[in-house]
Amino acid sequence: MKDAILGWMDRLYLACMWISGIGILLMSLIIPWGVFARYVLGSGSQWPEPIAILLMTLFTFFGAAVAYRAGAHIAVEMLTNAVPAAVRRGLALLADLLVMALSLFLLVWGGKLVIETMGQNISALPWLPVGITYLPLPLGGLATLAFVLEKLAFGPQHHRAVVRFDHNLDAEPARDL
């Protein structure tokens, strides 16, 4: 059962990573187009800025979930390294509970924000409901909440091969060419 759950969590992790990565890639293509259109072509497009903001929201909240599972989130180690190990474990649990509370906040209030703004449209993109632009908040909160619950139930998962960027280096020894 544990292996099945962790396998699904690996899939969720990869999905969040791909969503975040594609979001930042598209944003890095759209912003230069907006600058090019405005300053070279002389006619600024209306759509690059709102789409870039949507993509930034997308990669921020899904990227935060990825960073949490990978153990790459911001941590103030100066304080935690100065306290005894038992206190350090308590601080780590407190941090996880605070992340869980934030994730629940994003899930509940972000979901309400999505529902409340679904009938409104962005002026530059009349085909796009405002609620869609806020969708990364509850979805990213849900993914982060899943990773917090996973960590509380099974411990940190940043050692898993799917999380480590250097896992291929362990599988094959380096070859001289």
Q: Looking at the 3D structure of the chain, how many domains does it have?
A: 1
Domain span at 9: 2-171
Whether 55 is in a domain gets the answer yes
Q: Identify the residue with better confidence: 163 or 84.
A: 84
- At 165 the pLDDT is 65
Whether 113 is in a domain gets the answer yes
Helix (H) or strand (E) holding 3: helix 2-39
Spatial neighbors of 57 by CB under 8 A, at least 6 apart, are: 133, 134, 136, 137
Whether 47 is in a domain gets the answer yes
Whether 31 is in a domain gets the answer yes
Whether the pLDDT of residue 175 is over 50: the answer is: no
List the beta bridge partners of residue 129.
121
Whether 177 is in a domain gets the answer no
CA 104/CA 138 separation, integer angstroms: 8
User: Whole-prediction pTM value?
Assistant: 0.84
Q: Is 125 helix (H, G, I), strand (E, B) or coil?
A: strand
